[in-house]
Amino acid sequence: MSASAAEPTVGVRRRRHLSWALALPLGWVLLVAILAITADWLGLPDPAAQELIQRRKPPSTEYLLGTDNLGRDMLSRIIYGARTSLIVGICAPFLGFLIGGAIGISAGYFRGKIDLLAVGFIDVLLAFPALVLALTFTAYLGQSLFNVTLALGILSIPAAARVSRANTLAWANRDFVLAARTIGASNWRILTREILPNVLPAMFAFWLVAISVIIVAEGALSFLGLGIPAPQPSWGGMIADGREALDVAPHTALIPAAVMFLTVLSLNFLGDMVRNLVDPRRSAL
Amino acid sequence: MHWLARQVLRLAVVLLCVTLLTYLIVNILPGDVAIVILGSLATPQDIAGLRADLGLDRPMLVRYFDWLGSALSGDLGRSYRNGEPVAQAIADRLPVSLQLMVMAQIIALGIAVPAALLSVRRPGGLFDRMSASAAFGFLATPNFMLGIVLIYLFSVTLDLLPATGFTPMSESLWGNFESMILPSLTLGLIEWTVLMRVLRSDLLTTLKEDFILLARAKGLPPWRVLLLHALRPSSFTLITVLGLNIGGLIGGAVIVEQIFALPGVGRLLLGGIFNRDLILVQGTVSFIAAGFVLINFLVDMLYAVLDPRVRYVRFRS
Amino acid sequence: MSGAVSGGPLLSVRDARVGFGTVRGLLRAVDGVSFDLQAGRTLGVVGESGSGKSVLVRSLIGLVGGGSGAVVGGQVLLEGQDLRGLSAAGLREVLGRDIGIVFQDPMTSLNPVMKIGRQIGEGLQLNRGLDGAAAARRAVELLAEVGIPEPERRAVQYPHELSGGMRQRVAIAIAIACEPKLLIADEPTTALDVTVQRQILDLLQREQRQRGMAMILITHDLGVAAGRADDIMVMYAGRAVEMATTREIFRGPRMPYTEALLRSLPRLSDVAHTRLSAIPGRPPDLARRGMGCAFAPRCTYRSDRCETEEPALTRDGARGFACFNPLAAGSRVVA
């Protein structure tokens, strides 16, 4: 799971397409988000209600996106699955950034032993292939929406700590911080008033990029059957279910796959734009 | 050699921490291990017996160092499920995982290097823009999704390749290739995007250097300038990213082995997790993490071999 | 420059132009420069940084343009053959065989990850058809010739293992490897320690004489050109503003800019602590040129005409200068 970035392209061409490049991904993400939030009031069939006679039906007027292996309405499951993806995708990095941010900022500000300890901790967490660590966590925490979020949140700690530490290091020696120190401001005051406001934009940009990474990770866990437990819909789980009927009812796998692809693609587009705004230098890699 | 000694020491510390953390996750997370293994219906006597069997009545650190001592001599314990030695189980499945990752890496480099070279011939040109778009698209494709799409295309629709299953090399070389090509493609088609971007960006920087101008002034044709003069000094970030991405590749291998039913280490781990086979999980996760750390260490060494300037700084001062 | 030696000049440049498209419009880096260079002679191209001297020379041999958005115009004849009319492959052949080039900074002009011997031998294999072993042997000979001790050992080392002066010697070995007829030295000593600058210039001059090569020596320092060049072309804002033999230039410049350059040189006859006169003002913005003489804003001799009309390069025998108010012929510069 690596961070992505936009390549700088020819300026003229970019400007002309900027409006579409912004409108399409933003529109899709908003659509997914609004449907996920309002799902309960849309009059959708129960995403868990099985109707075995109606199983593996292709898209029709009755079932807009068809039905799955157990005759459940795909549209309803996709929308409720979006809710799962968004909850995990937004909360897990947020958790990671609260803890990782605290670690990174104190490491970068206090330096010395705290820094050494923090860097060591980050190194050890990064020494595990991310998915393997996530699997191990969820396997022993037990499968639930909360535990999946917790596990993926822990996984995002090292990245968050790195970003906040690097930014803190860059700010901690600026003149205005030294000035605050010479007039006798406490560490707490300097951290919250001088450092934090400057580190937050970079953290925010990274949080946006992390959302799509975490959505994919949740999908992978659910795909392997170790993420969101069974009756609750999740895109990764739907793709895994659909795989069994790939020859007779390919839509059961391909529709959730397409939805997930479009969502991740849109989020990557938006993440790149925000990141270029916050830090133009990083856009090269 | 001072530098090397420091690196080896650091490697040892990280390996120690990694195995310890694995041990902690597997052993102290909620739930009594014995209950997890035996299920909630087990009698207290059974549980006590198993705890004694597993040595759970002794302090955690003592147990960890016991485990570490045997692990260093190659004994990772026996699977609780079928009594098979864990080390043997890993050794049996490792070749499949390695073959998968090597083939994926070959595919990724096989696409990334030519794509980057062709892109920088005309930055902003048609090929450059097309390959950048393709990379952006593949980067947004989760590997489990790509695997399914590839099966749908090549196995279900075109009926060219087997959807799942594994043929050992000893049985049929071609059969082995057929069973491995879709899994490797699944990983490789995603991996190339990052490599291509990194290499392209470094190539563009290198091509602005004076020594490239001098190479052109020698009368070398453009492809020779690119391959002989620009490629090698541009490949250092690529090597680093190659090492860092192995973590993602290992995670990808777990998923791909599951999709395509390949008997690799990843599938062994998943089986262990589903069966609550703690000793197997402990051994496999430690092995994977240690392997990952070691590979990154080797990549760092490779860096020194490739760049004479790094070698000079590290080994002569 | 005296034109009528049998067979004509080795290099003949007519109305060379290089423009770069920028957001602020076309930047004329080189604006209609013509000159001839006879075989075996040295031409010093002198000017401040940004005067277009490097771009001019690089454009002659096709190292500017193609991808960089540069527009190149004019005619370049090497032994009567028009380089601008050649195919890419044809130009590469001429480049490799007949022209050698030494860049300013040997820290960046040598490939950091290729052994020195191979960097020298590469051109020999390609352009002279030597096999690998012969090219390697020749590379060692060339290293010895440019004054590098222990050439066998150095040939298998990488550039970072050598000092700056040594690296520039290697760069010279690369440039002369294929016995070129024309050697281009682009500020070859600017990036070097003062103590080795002279050695490198001597080496260049020695090789040029021994091999009978023609040389273009680009420098911002008239003092460097003084003892080494037969002729001097002074460039300002992309144009040639004065052309003459070195002797004539030092005896009496006609163009005020040349005079200003001469005044900024330290002289042995100066009393200690004499202040060198710097040229006031700064070179013009090439993307925003007015209609007058580009040097007018900094010139002490300017008249009204200088601000509205651009002087062309007028010929006075072998000399040429672009000025409406030239200094009298033979007027010595008094510091």
Question: Taking CB atoms and an 8 Å cut-off, how many pairs form between chains A and B?
Answer: 153
The CATH number for A271's domain is: 1.10.3720.10
Partner-chain contact B139 A127, CB within 8 Å: no
C117: contact with B, CB 8 A cutoff: no
For A70, phi then psi, to 5°, come to -110, 15
Partner-chain contact A254 B152, CB within 8 Å: yes
State the best of A9, A123, A131 to mutate against chain B, taking most chain B CBs within 10 Å.
Answer: A131
Instruction: List CB contacts of A31: < 8 A, sequence separation 6 or more.
Output: none
Partner-chain contact B218 C99, CB within 8 Å: no
Q: How far is CA C268 from CA C192, C272, C273, in A?
A: 23, 9, 12
Partner-chain contact C61 B220, CB within 8 Å: no
Instruction: Give the number of domains in chain A.
Output: 1
Nearest to C96 among B122, B218, B229 (CB): B218
CA dihedral B114, B117, B120, B124 (to 10 degrees): 0
pLDDT at residue A158 tops 70? yes
Nearest to A131 among B25, B163, B254 (CB): B254
Q: What is the length of chain B?
A: 317
pLDDT at residue A16 tops 60? no
pLDDT at residue A229 tops 70? yes
Q: What is the pLDDT of residues A264-273, one digit of tens each?
A: 888 888 887 7
As a whole number of angstroms, the distance between CA C280 and CA C299 comes to 9
A222: contact with B, CB 8 A cutoff: no
Query: What is the pLDDT at residue A12?
Result: 43
Partner-chain contact A265 B248, CB within 8 Å: no
Stretch C91-119: mean pLDDT, rounded? 89
Query: What is the pLDDT at residue C324?
Result: 83
Q: What is the pLDDT of residues A89-135, one digit of tens each?
A: 889 989 988 898 889 888 888 888 888 888 888 888 887 888 888 88
Question: For C219, which DSSP code?
Answer: E
Say whether B261 sits in a helix, a strand or coil.
coil
- List the single residue in B with minimal CA-CA distance to A142: B30
Stretch A181-187: mean pLDDT, rounded? 80
* A56 domain-assigned: no
Partner-chain contact B211 C61, CB within 8 Å: no
As a whole number of angstroms, the distance between CA B315 and CA C195 comes to 31
Nearest to B219 among C93, C112, C160 (CB): C93
pLDDT at residue A284 tops 50? no
pLDDT at residue A18 tops 70? no
Question: Could you tell me the pTM of the whole model?
Answer: 0.81
Partner-chain contact C92 B221, CB within 8 Å: yes
Query: What is the pLDDT at residue A199?
Result: 83
- List the single residue in A with minimal CA-CA distance to B146: A257
Q: What is the length of chain A?
A: 285
Q: Do residues B191 and B226 make contact, with C-beta atoms less than 8 angstroms apart?
A: no
Sheet holding C81-82, edge to edge: C25-37, C11-22, C70-78, C81-82
Q: Where are the beta strands (DSSP E) in chain B?
A: none
State the best of A14, A140, A235, A254 to mutate against chain B, taking most chain B CBs within 10 Å.
Answer: A140
Assign residue C109 a region: left if phi > 0, alpha if psi is -120 to 50, beta otherwise? alpha
- ipTM of this model? 0.82
* A57 domain-assigned: no
H or E stretch covering C231: strand C231-236
As a whole number of angstroms, the distance between CA B120 and CA A33 comes to 39
* A24 domain-assigned: yes
**Which comes out higher in pLDDT, residue B29 or C145?**
C145
* A185 domain-assigned: no
Q: pLDDT 10s digit of each residue in chain B, 317 long?
A: 577 787 788 788 888 888 888 888 777 655 556 666 666 667 777 777 777 776 666 777 788 888 888 888 888 888 777 778 888 889 989 999 999 999 999 999 999 999 999 998 888 888 998 998 899 889 888 888 898 888 888 888 787 777 777 778 788 778 788 888 899 999 999 889 989 988 998 898 888 888 998 998 888 888 889 898 999 888 888 888 888 788 888 888 999 998 888 898 999 988 888 877 778 888 888 888 888 888 888 887 777 777 777 665 555 44
Query: What is the pLDDT at residue A241?
Result: 81
Question: For strand C319-321 and strand C314-316, is the pairing parallel, antiparallel, or unpaired?
Answer: antiparallel
Q: Do residues A83 and A42 make contact, with C-beta atoms less than 8 angstroms apart?
A: no
* Nearest residue to A201 (alpha-carbon basis) of A106, A274, A270: A274
Q: How far is C159 from chain B (nearest CA, A)?
A: 9
Q: How far is B225 from chain C (nearest CA, A)?
A: 11
**Which comes out higher in pLDDT, residue A236 or C102?**
C102
Structure confidence at residue C68 as a pLDDT band (50, 70, 90):
low
How does DSSP assign A147-208, residue by residue? HHHHHHHHHTHHHHHHHHHHHHHHHHTSHHHHHHHHTT--HHHIIIIIIHHHHHHHHHHHHH
Q: Which residues pair with C234 in a beta bridge?
A: C46, C242
State the best of C58, C93, C94, C111 to mutate against chain B, taking most chain B CBs within 10 Å.
Answer: C111
* Nearest residue to C170 (alpha-carbon basis) of C142, C195, C196, C198: C142
Interface of B with A in 237-266 (CB under 8 A): 237, 241, 244-248, 250-252, 254-255, 258-259
Sort out which chain A residues have CB atoms less than 8 A from B148's CB and list them: 239, 242-243, 246, 253-254, 257
B295: contact with A, CB 8 A cutoff: no
B233: contact with C, CB 8 A cutoff: yes
Q: How far is B123 from chain C (nearest CA, A)?
A: 8
Partner-chain contact B144 A136, CB within 8 Å: no
Task: Return the structure tokens found at B82.
Answer: 């079928």
Query: What is the pLDDT at residue C81?
Result: 87
H or E stretch covering C143: helix C132-145
Q: What is the pLDDT of residues C163-192, one digit of tens each?
A: 888 999 999 999 998 889 999 999 888 888
Stretch C82-109: mean pLDDT, rounded? 87
Query: What is the pLDDT at residue B272?
Result: 85
For C319, phi then psi, to 5°, come to -90, 160
Query: What is the pLDDT at residue B110?
Result: 95
In one letter, which amino acid is A126? L
Query: What is the pLDDT at residue C127?
Result: 86
Partner-chain contact B129 A9, CB within 8 Å: yes
* A141 domain-assigned: yes
As a whole number of angstroms, the distance between CA A271 and CA A265 comes to 10
C86: contact with B, CB 8 A cutoff: no
Nearest to C158 among B122, B218, B308 (CB): B308
A54-68, B125-139, B147-161, C128-142: the lowest-pLDDT one? A54-68
As a whole number of angstroms, the distance between CA B217 and CA B196 comes to 28
Q: How far is C126 from chain B (nearest CA, A)?
A: 7
In one letter, which amino acid is C139? A
Sort out which chain B residues have CB atoms less than 8 A from C99's CB and list them: 217
Partner-chain contact B219 C67, CB within 8 Å: no
Partner-chain contact A212 B140, CB within 8 Å: yes
Q: Where are the beta strands (DSSP E) in C83-192?
A: 99-102, 182-186
pLDDT at residue A210 tops 90? no
B217: contact with C, CB 8 A cutoff: yes
Structure confidence at residue C267 as a pLDDT band (50, 70, 90):
low
Query: What is the pLDDT at residue C259?
Result: 84
Instruction: List CB contacts of C255: < 8 A, sequence separation 6 or more.
Output: C234, C241, C242, C321, C322, C323, C326, C327
Nearest to C109 among B122, B210, B221 (CB): B210
Angle, CA A181 vertex, CA A176 and CA A184 arms, to 5°: 135
Stretch A170-195: mean pLDDT, rounded? 80
Domain extent for A226? 10-45+63-174+202-284
Task: Return the structure tokens found at A197.
Answer: 């406001």
Task: Return the structure tokens found at C118.
Answer: 């191979």
B151: contact with A, CB 8 A cutoff: yes
* A269 domain-assigned: yes
As a whole number of angstroms, the distance between CA A263 and CA A35 comes to 13
* A53 domain-assigned: no
* A209 domain-assigned: yes
Q: How far is C41 from chain B (nearest CA, A)?
A: 21
- Mean pLDDT for chain A? 78
Q: How far is CA B123 from CA A7, B119, B126, C24, C174, in A?
A: 11, 6, 9, 22, 30
Q: How far is CA B284 from CA A151, B12, B90, B91, in A?
A: 19, 19, 7, 11
Longest pairwise C-alpha distance within chain A: 77
Which residue shows structure tokens 């300026």? A11
Instruction: List CB contacts of B254: < 8 A, sequence separation 6 or more.
Output: A131, A132, A135, A224, B266, B267, B269, B270
As a whole number of angstroms, the distance between CA B163 and CA C236 comes to 72
How does DSSP assign A38-64, residue by residue? HGGGTTPPPTT---GGGTTPPS-SSST
Sort out which chain A residues have CB atoms less than 8 A from B22's CB and list them: 128, 136
Partner-chain contact B17 A264, CB within 8 Å: no
